[in-house]
Amino acid sequence: MNTTAAAPANAEKRYTVHRADLPLSCPTPEMALWNSHPRVYLPIQDDPDGHAQCPYCSAIYQLVD
């Protein structure tokens, strides 16, 4: 079974996420972890504007639905 992630970790600084993607973590499950920071969960659903920023890499996430 191949569990290699498709996307490189922290390649972008802005990401759009959907409610189906929750709980939100950075890096996301689709990202490779071997060259990234530890996984941290971001409470984006608790933010009134639907924003979250990773404390490690400063990536910004926007909840769109």
Return phi, psi of residue 52, to 5°.
Answer: -150, 145
Is 90 exceeded by the pLDDT of residue 4? no
For the segment 24-42, the average pLDDT, to the nearest whole number, is 88
The domain locations on the chain are 14-51
pLDDT tens-digit readout, 9-30: 666 789 999 999 999 999 988 8
For the segment 32-54, the average pLDDT, to the nearest whole number, is 91
What's the count of helices (H) and strands (E) in the chain, helices before strands?
0, 5
pLDDT band at 2 (very low <50, low <70, confident <90, very high): very low
Element (H, E) at 40: strand 40-42
What is the model's pTM? 0.78
